[in-house]
Amino acid sequence: MSGPYTADNERGTPYSAGMSAAGSPAYDDASLGELVSRLTGDFGTLTRQELALAKAELREEAKQAGKGAGMLGGAAFAGWMLALFVSLTVMWALGEAMDLVWAALIVAAIWAVVAAVLAVSGRKALRDVTPVPEQTVETLKEDAQWLKTRKH
The pLDDT assigned to 38 comes to: 83
Amino acid at 96: E
pLDDT bin (cut points 50, 70, 90) of residue 28 is low
Mean pLDDT throughout 33-60? 85
- What pTM value is reported for the model? 0.48
Task: Single out the residue of 100, 69, 113, 104 nearest to residue 84, CA to CA.
Answer: 104
Percentage above 70 pLDDT, the chain: 80
Enumerate the H helices of the chain as residue ranges.
Answer: 32-95, 100-127, 134-151
Looking at residue 44, its pLDDT comes to: 86
Q: Using the predicted structure, report yes or no on whether residue 101 has a pLDDT greater than 80.
A: yes
Using DSSP's 3-state secondary structure scheme, residue 6 falls into coil
CA atoms within 13 A on the CB side of 101: 0
